[in-house]
Amino acid sequence: MGIIYRVNMSDLTARAEPIEGSAYEALGGRGLTSALVAAEVPPQCHALSAANKLVIAPGLLTGTGAPCAGRLSVGGKSPLTGTIKESNAGGMAALALAVLGIKAVVLEGAPQDRRLHRIAVDRQGVRIEPADELAGLGNYETVARQVGQFGDKAAYVSIGQAGEMRAAAASVAVTDVDSRPTRHCGRGGMGAVMGSKGVKLIVVDPAGGQRIQLADPDAFRRAVRRFADALGRHPLTGQTLPKYGTNILANVINEAGAYPTRNFSQGQFEGTEAISGERQHDTILARGGVIAHGCHRGCTIRCSRIYVDDQGNYVTKGPEYETVWAHGANCGISDLDAIARMDRMDDDFGLDTIETGATLAVAMEAGIIPFGDAQGAIRLLEEVAKGTPLGRLVASGAAVLGKTYGVSRVPTVKGQSLPAYDPRAVQGIGVTYATSTMGADHTAGYAITANVLGVGGRVDPLRPEGQVALSRNLQIATAAVDAAGLCLFVAFCLLDDPAALEAVCEMFSALLGRPFTGDDFVALGKRILTDERRFNAAAGFTAADDRLPDFFKTEKLAPHQITFAVPDEELDTLFNFAE
């Protein structure tokens, strides 16, 4: 029970396909996007050509009533990396699709012209409608113009100017509980793929939908309660994240000497205090903003917040840890209001905040503007919406801007920028950056857990020993979490509290009507990684691509005076697991 909508943008037709009996049965989220992309997209196609597909799928547990299970996965071949890609976000769209019984919307083909379309999804089906009047609009205005027609119960999945330009750092925006486009499938340029399909937005009206049917509703309810209890008990998901949001990490990672500063040239930033989660918390409360806000209904962690200016007016959601770092320490900027303004611009133009901040830092390394120049950074970002050559470069990511400006210190793997943890001072995350099927990606195997936070055990972050095993296990578990549609933050709890993993397995069992064990959970993760690796190999990726840039191996990072030391031969064993 469930359907896949195939939307053909070459001839503007749509058809529904039952998932039952198909190869995609009992898959969801990243499990479904990666299986479908691996099976149906030619690995060597141009990511912006008609041969690529954009797969939009809620998780397997989305719409069941499971807490924190509202992630929307968006997959395809990435124009940024050339690899397979899955990028997920919270917001309301996954839930809206799930309650309509929609397992995926697959955008296929591409229009011959440059016209834009709106795809309206509701319980009657799918309509493809012209939307040229939305051309050149940011995500905020795009959504605002729809809410009158579709209402605030609908969810909106859209692209801004960057996606229309088919820029490699373009995100897919998803509206939050307040119909604001603040949640983004940011990484890997999925917004450019959506733009290449001529789709400006997808409106999902959940009216008349219903919860996912469960094989054993009572068992499911019991498991949900156990899971919610575990999330509430864990200090990170129960206390720290709700209170301070993700940016609580700024001081923690800075203290660890792993907070990449000025394009990864130092591990500590002198301006950290001014942009920390604690400061953000105090600023938001003092100005009358909101903390402990959930990005979608059914979230019990509620790490989102609402950032307001000194007059109390809405600016943007509370900028996340990665965003604050990317536009802050990494650019030598310690002005929280300037960072919030850039976060808003990123969300509006439809840009991955990590890639964008990293690109601004490389622009600083290139000498286009000096490090620390917040107003200069804002001006560079404004170029994106104008579509100038410089703006297109900023929206194309650090690798392209670095290449265009002849910069040799460009912190990317497979063309995707490194996130907010220096891999020299947290060697486990370096393993994930190097080997992930997605290009440099912290969420793919978040080794900060055992390396820094003491979650799921302890592995010395400064030594190479044990990092590959740590990253391997995390990458496997994460793929399964992403398939479930669970927010990655539940992993803190899964790693520390056996009852939490049991509860998740019980939810799977009660949903599917068959036993689902921890081993099945691991097998699911391995299967997804295997699909993804197969795609990447066929696209031409080899062990030589599973490497950090040279300078992490040659430049010592202060304050630990350390280089990345995990040997290549060990990196090459990461995917040595039996499926």
- Contact flag: residue 551 with a second copy (CB under 8 A): yes
Handedness of CA 114, 115, 121, 125 (dihedral sign): negative
**Which of 29, 31, 43, 206: binder of a second copy (CB under 8 A)?**
43
**Which of 61, 106, 168, 505: binder of a second copy (CB under 8 A)?**
168
Nearer to a second copy, 167 or 524 (CB): 167
Q: Which stretch binds a second copy (CB under 8 A): 39-47, 254-262, 314-322, 342-350?
A: 39-47
**Which of 11, 148, 406, 569: binder of a second copy (CB under 8 A)?**
406
**Which of 4, 165, 333, 425: binder of a second copy (CB under 8 A)?**
165
**DSSP secondary structure letter of residue 452:** I
**Which of 213, 408, 561, 573: binder of a second copy (CB under 8 A)?**
408
- In the stretch 66-105, what mask flags binding to a second copy with x, by CB under 8 A? -------------x--------------------------
- Minimum separation from the CB atom of position 396 to a second copy (A): 5
Nearer to a second copy, 252 or 390 (CB): 390
How far is residue 105's CA from residue 417's CA, in Å, rounded to a whole number? 28
- Minimum separation from the CB atom of position 489 to a second copy (A): 34
552 touches 430 (CB < 8 A) = yes
Instruction: Calculate the CA 332 to chain-centre distance.
Output: 24
How far is residue 52's CA from residue 195's CA, in Å, rounded to a whole number? 12
Cβ-in-10-Å burial (0-12, 13-18, 19+) of 383 comes to middle
- Minimum separation from the CB atom of position 384 to a second copy (A): 12
- Contact flag: residue 44 with a second copy (CB under 8 A): yes
Long-range pairs of 17-24 with CB within 8 A, sequence gap ≥ 24: 19/103, 19/104, 24/103, 24/104
- Contact flag: residue 107 with a second copy (CB under 8 A): no
**Which of 51, 144, 522, 565: binder of a second copy (CB under 8 A)?**
51
Nearer to a second copy, 541 or 564 (CB): 541
**Which of 121, 410, 470, 524: binder of a second copy (CB under 8 A)?**
410
Nearer to a second copy, 16 or 537 (CB): 537
- Minimum separation from the CB atom of position 375 to a second copy (A): 19
**Which of 13, 23, 42, 559: binder of a second copy (CB under 8 A)?**
42
SS (H, E, C) 152-196: CCCEEEECCHHHHCCCCCECEEECCCCCCCCEEECCCCHHHHHHH
Count of residues engaged in binding a second copy, rule: CB under 8 A: 42
305 touches 292 (CB < 8 A) = yes
Which of 258, 296, 343 is closest to 69 using CA atoms?
296
**Interstrand relation of 102-108 and 183-185 (parallel, antiparallel or unpaired):** unpaired
- Contact flag: residue 550 with a second copy (CB under 8 A): yes
How is the chain split among helix, strand and coil, in percent rounded to 5? 45, 15, 40
- Minimum separation from the CB atom of position 540 to a second copy (A): 3
**Which of 239, 375, 388, 573: binder of a second copy (CB under 8 A)?**
388
Nearer to a second copy, 287 or 403 (CB): 403
How far is residue 523's CA from residue 48's CA, in Å, rounded to a whole number? 32
Nearer to a second copy, 177 or 385 (CB): 385
- Contact flag: residue 538 with a second copy (CB under 8 A): yes
Beginning with the edge strand found earlier in the chain, give each strand of the sheet holding 72-77 in spatial order: 13-18, 3-8, 102-108, 54-58, 72-77, 84-89
Nearer to a second copy, 400 or 455 (CB): 400
List 15's β-bridge partners, or say none: 6
Q: 331-351 burial, b if ≥16 CB within 10 A, otherwise e?
A: bbbbbbebbbbbbbbbbbbbb
Which of 194, 333, 191 is closest to 272 using CA atoms?
333
Interacting residues of 51 by C-beta distance below 8 A, sequence separation 6+: 41, 42, 45
Nearer to a second copy, 85 or 302 (CB): 85
**Which of 6, 30, 117, 166: binder of a second copy (CB under 8 A)?**
166
Q: Which stretch binds a second copy (CB under 8 A): 3-11, 41-49, 95-103, 557-565?
A: 41-49
**Which of 66, 126, 488, 539: binder of a second copy (CB under 8 A)?**
539
| 509 CB neighbour count, 10 Å cutoff | 19
Binding site for a second copy (CB under 8 A): 42-46, 48-49, 51, 79, 165-168, 192, 195-196, 388-390, 392-393, 396, 400, 403-408, 410, 538-545, 547, 549-551
